[in-house]
Amino acid sequence: MSSPLLGTSASEIGIDRDDREPIQSQIARQVRTLVLSGRLKPQTKLPSTRALSEELSVARATVVEAYEQLLSEGYLETRSGSGTRVAAELPESLLTSAPDRPGKTASPHLKVKREPARPFRSGLVDWENFPHDDWGRLLGRFWRNPPVTLLEHNDPFGWMPLREAIASHLFEWRGISCAAEQVIVTAGGLDAFDLIGRAVLKDGDKVWFEEPGYPTARRIFSLGGVSVVPVPVDEEGLVVAKGLDKAGGARAAFVTPARQYPTGVTMPLARRLELLDWAAEADAIVIEDDYDSEYRYVGRPLPALMSLDKRARVIYTGTFSKVFSPIIRLGYVVVPKALVERFRIERLSHGAPPSLMAQPALAEFMGSGAFAIHIRRMRRIYAARRRVLIEALKPGDGRLYRIDASPAGLMLLLHLPDGTSDDAMVEKLSAQGIEAQSLSSHYAGRKHAQGLLLSFAGFSDDDLKRAARRLIEAMT
């Protein structure tokens, strides 16, 4: 199936449903190629996610994920009221083809040079310390000689050995006791949110969301007709009493209890039990997004909210994007046993499960113990980078901002003084080659706090020190 929506100057987007490449990756790849080839010019307006999803007959969340990927890579940009467009200024290196060797026919594939990411861009991991050789050998082995069971695989919940490995990992690291049959492999967080929304929520259902909170999750659930109820966050996470005041009969609550996104606060035991009691009394569910809990630098990772749930009220989601690699585009959902069949029906009815390409390799990598070793190693590296960045930012602490260093996660929060616009500061820092997120952009309602979110995982110590100096100079 193809779409003419990108205009007569651009090729149509084609979707191959028999291809193992996920549909969102097919869309992102083709739009990326159109941009790099110049057939989609800077500032060309793209169709809305709704329009393109209808044209391609795919879930709107699939198109949203493709656009989100291209936005994070710098190919697209979006501004309130103007929709999604091709970025006005693409990095020059993205448009530079590698020169052909003399006597060689030009390759039909465009060769692209990547420019280094600008600090403090979010969503990056340390690629230098990734176990490339071990991972490559595993992928190569399953690619060259796939087992018959893989070739005949038709379980919409994913490769069973990987689901078993995930269940084992969650028991050891997060205290969750679940069967592999309760684990569903997803194509990342967006796929997980879309699946949960379709399986257990209906049009008009009210859902509590942390305020400030994760904008992408709010957007995905809203696409299914859910009514978002912003509930304030304090130093202990989502305030259950405020949620009861706003919508005591809500159908669900979306929370990040291990490290609230974006403030970094941890929900203590008493607040967790209060939330679970509400869910049981209101016949509601709690959606626990545990996106980077393995990276805790003080003590062991805290047990998950689901590990406390004795009344089957929690649906748990996780991703490999931050703890392993965003490239493999895999995550998972753990559902109560009573909901397994409902999720299976929904998975079979809508869309295709994620590609099997990396699942057997990841299952073996986890089962061998290499995954746990990798996490522990990266935790040491990220802890050191966190310390470096905190130290580099100290000259401005208390004067230009207040450093809020959560003992977990892959970013720092700088609280800005009253009267300072974080959106304006983000624009100013961008001109200096620094990429930060504004805290205010994470609010659904009236913007209360102003701050900057700085991710440190994908940058060397020297990169972090230089960027911190530029940030302080720009803010002075």
- pLDDT, tens only, 196-218: 999 999 999 999 999 999 999 99
**What span, in angstroms and rounded, lies between the C-alpha atoms of 228 and 193?**
14
Confidence band, pLDDT 50/70/90 cuts, at residue 115: low
Highest mean pLDDT among 113-122, 320-329, 372-381: 372-381
pLDDT of residue 106: 37
Instruction: Say whether pLDDT at 103 is over 70.
Output: no
Confidence band, pLDDT 50/70/90 cuts, at residue 467: very high
- pLDDT, tens only, 11-69: 468 887 767 677 887 898 888 888 877 788 888 888 888 888 888 888 887 888 788 77
Domains of the chain in start order, with CATH, are 2-95 (1.10.10.10), 146-368 (3.40.640.10), 372-475 (3.90.1150.10)
Instruction: Say whether pLDDT at 101 is over 80.
Output: no
- pLDDT, tens only, 364-389: 999 999 999 999 999 999 999 999 99
Instruction: Say whether pLDDT at 1 is over 70.
Output: no
pLDDT of residue 81: 59
Instruction: Say whether pLDDT at 352 is over 90.
Output: no
Q: With pLDDT > 90 as the criterion, what percentage of the chain qualifies?
A: 57
